[in-house]
Amino acid sequence: MIKPGDRVAIIDDPIEGTVQTVLKDTVVIETTEGFQMEFHKTEVVRLGSQEISWGTVSFSKILEEKEFKNQKTPSRKRKGKKGPSIPEIDLHLESIVPADLHLEDYQKLPFQLDFARDQLEKAMEHRTPKIIFIHGKGDGILKTELGYLLSRYSNIKYYPADPRKYQGGAVEVYFIQNAPDQDY
């Protein structure tokens, strides 16, 4: 649960701040710029911890179980040298949430975005050159929200993934790697 003093971010906006007050369905935060803003509790995500809870769902526990397990190896066989496989992160709920776990409708999209953010951060830590997020075609809500999430990072570029393979339901993310400092 979110409580006063927690560092939070807003799902649809590049806004971060500190929780001032938690009312029934409303959270009042003070942004990093010093403004007081009010948001619905489903729009607010706690920062600084992977222990994000959605009711009875523990995000960190699911991440431990799913740690890069939903990566798929490319099915195409290459001739010659074999390069590194490109991680494919499937964001469909049935791929990242255990079957016996029930999420309310308002919990699903934030959960998928938190999972995507976590996988993105892990890929950056491991200096992965490229990953693919599979969001599916559907209504395009997850695709749009994933675009908002990715646009917040200055060290990545992203493009629609190969339409022949993913039918418009995936995005390729390329990481811009900084060269290590060199002493001359």
Q: What CA–CA distance (Å, rounded) separates 123 from 145? A: 19
- In terms of domains, do 110 and 68 share one? yes
CATH (domain of 41): 2.30.30.30
Per DSSP, the residues of 106-165 read HHHHHHHHHHHHHHHHHHHHTT-SEEEEE--STTSHHHHHHHHHHHT-TTEEEEE--HHH
Q: Is the pLDDT assigned to residue 56 strictly greater than 80?
A: no
Average pLDDT over residues 82-110: 80
Domain tally, the chain: 2
pLDDT per position as a tens digit, 28-42: 888 877 777 888 888
- The residue to which tokens 């491991």 are assigned: 126
Q: What CA–CA distance (Å, rounded) separates 39 from 52? A: 18
Average pLDDT, the chain: 77
- In terms of domains, do 96 and 38 share one? no
Q: How far apart are the first and last CA of the chain?
A: 51
Which residue segment(s) compose the domain that 12 sits in? 1-48
Please tell me the number of Cα atoms within 13 Å of 99 on its side-chain side. 0
